Amino acid sequence: MNSLLSSTDLAIVLGYLGIVLTLGVWVGRGQRSTVDYFLGGRSLPGWAVLLSIVATETSTVTFLSIPGFTFAAEGGDMRFLQITFGYIAGRILVVYLLLPLYFRGEPFTSYEVLERRFGATSRRATSLLFLVTRNLSDALRLFLTALALDQVVGVGLPGCIAGIGIVTIAYTFFGGVKSVIWNDCLQFLIYSIGAIVTLVVIVGQLPGGLDQLREFGEQHDKFRVLDFDISLVKPTMTFWAGLVGGLFLTAATHGTDQMMVQRYLAAKSQRAAGWALAVSGFMVCAQFALFLAIGMGLACFYQTFPPETLFTSADGDRVFAHFIVHHLGIGLTGLTLAAVFAAAMSTLSSSLNSSATALINDIYLPLRKQELGSEQLLRICRIATVCFGFLQIGIALVSNQIGASENTVSSVLKIAGFALGPVLGIYCLAVLAKRVQQPAALGGFVFGLGLLSTVALMTPLAWPWYAMVGAVSTFLFGLLLSFVFPQALGSRDSSESFPS
């Protein structure tokens, strides 16, 4: 093994992994039911849910890939930050429009509310879409983390993928959602410290310090944040794509996606969950600003100290990892690599636990005729967690060509917008269109997926608009079907959108 890690750095990374595993086993002790395993007894404080929300969406893709937006020689600036404007607005919308639905009764998944409104088919269809797209996108995240690890430990990409995946499987298996959320809090602390320390080190190694970085940013227009271009196909972020597209995207990811909704359901109250969700948007905005500032610092650093092999526009995902390995120094390299692992495992563990929750509660139990005992059901839930872990490892092993032509964070967000836009459209039909029943809603869902597929394959529409296209087309076509074919589709007026 040709490792670039010092013994100190290796000890830091291994020590962090040991703490994660120990914490997972400790918080998972005494679990007796699926409510404990999947929802933490519905007792977690709002501040823990807040940090878990932020840590879950701050994957390695965010940590390593977002700095590439400002590092780029052409068009590299802070404009990607505009998408967080939509993130903030979308979360506030979810707090008032969708969050109350999840606190009526005691659901395990976000898709159970669709069954109450429409029927079992809607629940299963949206849950299956979640399972497919969630595991695909998170396999990409696992792959990117393995790329960073392979640069420093030299065991090969397959070994890195398997190592990260197995550690994550282990603590999620033992601790369930409590392990996931409390480890998220630890991981939030670790990767935040790692990012801040990295930026300080970059500035400290520049001959001119902060003044040089500021002059570099002004000279290359790196500080540009706003772009009011109304183009729908512009590859760089615009204000309108960020605000409108980001609103629909975050309303879908944080309003309908089981991975996020599961955190709200684990909170001790709706008020705690709503507070955590609303504040998380502002914290993500601050984080994105920090990661983009790191990218600007890396661009200035490598202009001052050019590497032996110059980076190209396609190397945006690898620049930060290169700096961590070659320029941070003993101790700090280990800390920052631990931060990379923290960012990765916070998302991957959430993915495994939420995928198992959806499979068991939306697919397996409704189709099973005989009831299971608590211990037997808990064992099946843990087996499902392991199976999804190895599924993501398998997908990651064959993912080295996915997203190779663009920034990886764009690939992941594109998948999210494509998958969750039509799902958001169904939820809007459920809440806003009392006339629409299941056949019309499913018809709209199929139409929305078909139209979005056509748009993605046949047009140059920029990815931030995908969620909006999917949601709006699903809503409008479902509404149209309910009016044009009211008898054939079984549409009828209902007194309330979500009967209790």
CATH number of the domain that 195 lies in?
Answer: 1.20.1730.10
Per-residue pLDDT at 2 exceeds 70: no
Average pLDDT value for residue range 389-401: 81
Average pLDDT value for residue range 270-299: 94
CA distances (Å), origin 301, targets 199, 201, 323, 336, 462: 11, 11, 10, 18, 31
pLDDT value of residue 45: 93
Q: Tell me how far the alpha carbon of residue 163 is from its chain's centroid.
A: 21
Which residue has better confidence, 150 or 119? 119
Q: Which residue has the tokens 């064992």?
A: 379
pLDDT value of residue 378: 83
pLDDT value of residue 13: 81
Q: Which residue has the tokens 């392991």?
A: 386
Asked, for residue 421, whether it belongs to a domain, the answer is no
- Per the structure, the count of domains in the chain is 1
pLDDT value of residue 405: 43
Q: How far apart are CA 427 and CA 448, in angstroms?
A: 13
Average pLDDT value for residue range 352-364: 89
Average pLDDT value for residue range 41-53: 89
Check if the beta carbon of residue 219 is closer than 8 Å to that of residue 90.
no
Torsion (CA) 462, 463, 467, 469 in degrees, nearest 10? 30
Asked, for residue 364, whether it belongs to a domain, the answer is yes
Per-residue pLDDT at 83 exceeds 90: yes
Check if the beta carbon of residue 78 is closer than 8 Å to that of residue 224.
yes
Average pLDDT value for residue range 95-121: 87
- Residue range(s) defining the domain that contains residue 302: 7-406
**Type of residue at 489:** L
Query: pLDDT tens digits for 218-236?
Result: 998 999 999 999 888 887 8
Max mean pLDDT among 62-71, 336-345, 351-360 falls in: 351-360
pLDDT value of residue 320: 82
Check if the beta carbon of residue 324 is closer than 8 Å to that of residue 294.
no
pLDDT value of residue 139: 84
CA distances (Å), origin 354, targets 90, 130, 359: 22, 10, 9
pLDDT value of residue 416: 61
pLDDT value of residue 54: 92
**Cα-flanking dihedrals φ and ψ of residue 275, to 5°?**
-60, -45
Per-residue pLDDT at 178 exceeds 50: yes
Per-residue pLDDT at 300 exceeds 50: yes
Asked, for residue 464, whether it belongs to a domain, the answer is no
Which residue has better confidence, 111 or 328? 111
Tokens representing residue 132 in the block: 């497919």
Asked, for residue 418, whether it belongs to a domain, the answer is no
pLDDT value of residue 387: 92
Average pLDDT value for residue range 279-291: 95
In 368-465, which ranges are continuous DSSP H helix? 374-397, 408-432, 438-458
Which pLDDT band, with edges at 50, 70 and 90, does 212 fall under?
Answer: very high
Max mean pLDDT among 53-67, 137-151, 214-228 falls in: 214-228
Q: How many residues does the chain have?
A: 500
Which pLDDT band, with edges at 50, 70 and 90, does 200 fall under?
Answer: very high
Cβ-count burial 167-192 (b if 16+ within 10 Å, e if not): bbbbbbbbbbbbbbbbbbbbbbebbb
pLDDT value of residue 301: 92
Check if the beta carbon of residue 191 is closer than 8 Å to that of residue 341.
no
**Whole-structure pTM value:** 0.85
pLDDT value of residue 500: 40
pLDDT value of residue 210: 93
Burial class from Cβ neighbours inside 10 Å (0-12, 13-18, 19+) for residue 375 reads exposed
Per-residue pLDDT at 388 exceeds 70: yes
Average confidence score pLDDT of the chain = 83
Per-residue pLDDT at 420 exceeds 60: yes
DSSP class of 486: T
Query: pLDDT tens digits for 369-387?
Result: 777 777 788 888 889 999 9
Residue 138: which of 394, 458, 321, 309 has the closest Cα? 394
Q: Which residue has the tokens 């794509």?
A: 241
pLDDT value of residue 324: 81
Asked, for residue 39, whether it belongs to a domain, the answer is yes
Per-residue pLDDT at 29 exceeds 70: no
pLDDT value of residue 406: 47
